[in-house]
Structure 1
């Protein structure tokens, strides 16, 4: 029989195995080709070019995506070769050399790759337009995206998957040449570890794994504390090491120990559910610990990165408001022409005037006594803090009330408020020229009222003082550059487009004033809408690429778990045949399968969610002002997609059980 006929017969016989591997290849090609096509789409690049991050973001994501695809395909190929180990052993028994077997499998792999690349590119070509529309939607851009076939994307994809094919062939040849004939017939069972008894050492190691994870979580909550700021990198490495190491130990020792303890408590009275769930999980922990650890860490990392990016994107409006707390901010006497134009065009608006007067103070004096320790650089760090009179503040908060030297500290939010938690009912010494006063802070609020230009970046504190105190401070007015702010809010948001044009035409956002060094400088005060759109454009590419890579990570980890369950189902087919023959119904067997799948998909997902939650919780405030909603949305997507893979896995087990009798 010729080699070509043998290849065709082998492919026909192994069709039930090939579709799994074939899907992995098509999925990988589709992901890569659609992303590279999107990267080279002229319509998309022209639309997003103003963001300045499109090319760099796409380029970095392409390399990451390639490593995801490489890992996915190599792992799928490894599982595929493992399932065909007996077949390879039979080929050797009938006299075929290892070299001939390698050639046979190489031809099959080449044919599969060619077919997968063609189908994957077709799917990627059509899906790229969908991804382009999603990207433009995220960026709030309107553009007509045409379906153009990119020759550059074709060339790059062919080069990448030819290299990947060579790597797969080398992996396959190495797997065949390194194993003996006997090991080929038992390769499918090498994952089993017959756990007969647990030593006290194993119990102690399992407990240490749990302790390491808990410590990593605890350390993450202290990562951005003031006293930890100097050793940030070292602390991050410690958290990573303890969390990842603890996860491996938990899967390697703790899970098997827990399962064995449950089994021993039953005193030998095991149900079918116990036999089909507890025992297989316990016996496979040795080999599965590495893969489950990897899947858990990948889930946590991808979800964490996706969530942080989404936090920044979701918080774009609140972040813009911290810089521009109104539709338009007019500083000093700038913008009078803009107001006249609004009146001429019959654009209704509300105006709130604030008087400003600066003082010198260190808000570190409002830190808790625990944080006011020697060596804390924030405690004695002085800077300019502006004050507004109570009567002006009552325009937005009529119930506000203070007297004497009492003050309300407001406008304090963002990452500063998260890292440096201030306490009310404390005194703070301020100075303005020769004048020194002691303020008593009666309340601390986070609502933004003053432009980020005045507060040097937004989120800086503002003191609300009595009108009498403000007049007392006014004698030092020449020492500070800002004295007036007018906040303009349009009554109808439908007028924003026209108002934006007038704001630009009149140059109301260009202000000349003295900087902190007393030098004349030109400042640009953006409108709220332009500031928000700038945040959207800066973060839109980031959230799109991280979400795309997160999807790739999720599909990879979910598919690997699904592939492993398919492989285990085939290995356990004989056990199901015995159970069916002695009278157990399909529903009795499925009870154990449900429990097993709940573990195989649920435990990596739950631990991955916990990893990502504590990682995000430690520094989310550096990316935005909203945590709960973005976190729950991202987690819900991951849970839903993992549930789909678990459902598919249970469906495959049902098919195997029905065919076992």
Structure 2
């Protein structure tokens, strides 16, 4: 029998153990092929007008995926090599040279990699049309995908994964020369010494994570720590503290807790607790690095996907805040304004909810006295009279009104950010119009707009008497505001109106900003979702491989336990508890890290991320649970296979 035939036979006989690794590789190849295909897809390029943003986004995502998959395959290979050390030792004992054993393992890995590559490309080609349709849907485009296999994508995928497979195959080949014969037969007994853990190191783990969390939750604008460390260095300190703390959490703190649990004699000697606690204690330190990587990766995945989905989820409300009117423009030509009104009134797809023609002034104002950290000293304000504001607020059903007198003023700033935005309330600014200067004092701040931001910038409301005086010195403009039904599906009407208006009309519409937001956030959620699935598949697989490796080592112990009277039900209970512990630790840590990161982000961008983040965490946890039950079932089957 040749080495190639032996390798093929080994794959067939061990395919059950290899299946999840093989499936994860195929899934990774499918996603990579999809991303590269979408970069060249004619439907996407035509619908998005050849946007370079989409092309560069998929290029970046494919690079990230390529790096991650390479690490995953490398890591998985190491697990399988250790799992088969005893088998390799037998080959050596029978006189097979290390060179031949290495070549056999090289052929095995190469055959599996090439088979996964072929299946992945075929599946990716078949599913590409569906992926294009999903992307078009989440980006808000109405387009039908055409089936087409991209030659560039096929070539890219073959080159990348062939290189990865060859490198990992050589890595497996080299590992054979690193071990002596005795080490190969004693592989299952490696790392079985009882780990040491001190209270000081356990407390240090909590302190590191606590310090990272505390630093992340600081108000960036007011924190003296952030200022002293620097805004570029502090995030790196946070990441380092959390990663070190997570590693110490698993290598010392959990070990310390398990040793405390062992001291509880009543519980420890009760049923399978003795088995579960001892197994976890002896292996926790050896598993610390793997659990840390999975926890950090889970946190990164959840944070990225949660953030992307939050932008997608909040897109409508964000646009509604910036564009309270479906369409708005400055009417410099009354004839064109009448044509637009007639066009909207005649449109059968969209009913007119309201139309307000609002007189306004547009002035350049010096706001140096407001101490703004993000605005220039001279800004453009759109000035509204108190009565005009109340009329628009009533049309928009805001249940809010103003009663300004004398030199009182109110500012409408939907993007107000405390600490960065101007200090409005109590401050005074000068509104200058030719020879007239009106000093007004802000008495109120409204965190919303009644005029579209792109047309009006920041809106300031003054008393009717101040507005009357100012309009005598400054040119008056009429701002036309329309509200229509189905404003998020007004592409044709929006384009037609935009083509009618001159550039100086500063036309803005709900649809344009909504479509732009859907394109950007839809692209993010598509990439984040699929990359998240790959990361989940890889991290779940790594724990699965790790548990299966331990199952092989524990098999003899469970055989003995079964012979002395431990039932299969008790064995399954023990396996379930051990696996739950290993799966839950990185998931809980990942969710905790993610929660802190997203809390800090939500404060920074002043957006409520709770609902979309809970949805992402729930979906992630459900898929993790599937891996857990699969692992418990396989582990149990391995350790009870020989039991009577």
Q: What is the TM-score with the length of structure 1 in the denominator?
A: 0.86
Q: Do residues 635 (structure 1) and 614 (structure 2) align?
A: no
Among residues 507, 519, 534, which one is paired with 1:552 in the alignment? 534
1:451 corresponding residue in structure 2: 452
Structure 1 segment 182-581 matched on structure 2, within 5 A? 182-195=182-195, 198=197, 202-222=198-218, 224-226=220-222, 228=226, 231-266=230-265, 269-333=268-332, 335-343=337-345, 348-357=352-361, 358=363, 360=365, 362=367, 377=373, 383-395=379-391, 396=393, 397=398, 399-404=400-405, 409=410, 411-414=412-415, 416-417=416-417, 420=420, 426-433=425-432, 435=437, 437=439, 439=441, 441-442=443-444, 444-454=445-455, 456=457, 460=458, 462-474=459-471, 477=474, 483-490=477-484, 496=490, 499-507=493-501, 510-512=502-504, 524-581=506-563
Quick one: distance in 2 between partners of 1:118 and 1:379? Answer: 56
The 1:363/1:235 distance shift into structure 2, 3 A limit, reads farther
Distance 1:398 1:292 in 2: 53
Q: 1:164 to 1:484 in 2, by over 3 A?
A: same
Task: Write the distance in 2 (CA, Å) between the matches of 1:61 and 1:352.
Answer: 46
286-295 or 346-355, which moves further after superposition? 346-355
Residue 453 of structure 1 deviates from its aligned partner by 3.1
Query: How far did 1:77 drift?
Result: 1.2
Tell me if the contact between 2:259 and 2:281 (Cα under 8 Å) persists in the aligned partners: yes
Once structures 1 and 2 are overlaid, which stretch shifts more, 324-333 or 637-646?
324-333
Range with bigger deviation, 233-242 or 378-387: 378-387
Instruction: Please list the CA deviations of residues 556-576 of structure 1 after superposition, one character each: whole Å capped at 9, or x if unmatched.
Output: 111111221222222212222
Task: Name the CA shift for 1:494/1:627 in 2 (closer, same or farther; >3 Å).
Answer: closer
Contact (CA 8 Å) 1:7, 1:104: kept in 2 or not? Answer: yes
Distance 1:311 1:476, change over 3 A: farther
CA spacing shift, 1:463–1:95, aligned 2, 3 Å: same
User: Does residue 651 in structure 1 map to residue 633 in structure 2?
Assistant: yes
Note closer, same or farther for the CA distance 1:265–1:356 as it changes in structure 2 (3 Å cut).
farther
Deviation at 1:27, TM superposition (A): 3.0
Deviations 1:293-345 (A, max 9, x none): 11111111122122222222233323333443211112244533311333455
Match of 1:518 in 2: none
SS at 2:413's partner residue?
Answer: coil
Aligned length: 626
Change (3 A) 1:345 1:555: closer
CA shift for structure 1 position 65: 1.1
Distance, in Å, in 1 between the alignment partners of 2:24 and 2:10 is: 20
Secondary structure, counterpart of 2:427 in structure 1: strand
Q: 1:119-138 to 2 correspondence within 5 Å? A: 119-138=119-138
| Deviation, structure 1 residue 89 | 0.8
1:65 match: 65
| Aligned residue number for residue 85 of structure 1 | 85
Structure-2 residue corresponding to 1:369: none
The one-character-per-residue Cα deviations of 1:535-567 (angstroms, maximum 9, x if unpaired) are 222333232222221221121111111221222
Higher deviation after alignment, 147-156 or 126-135 = 147-156
State the distance in 2 between where 1:355 and 1:252 align: 69
Displacement of 1:405: 5.4
Q: Root-mean-square deviation (CA), in Å?
A: 3.1
Decide whether the 8 Å contact of 1:329 with 1:525 is kept in 2: yes
Partner Cα separation in structure 2 for residue 161 and residue 378 of structure 1: 47
List alignment gaps of at least 5 residues for structure 2. Answer: none
In structure 2, the partner of 1:118 is 118
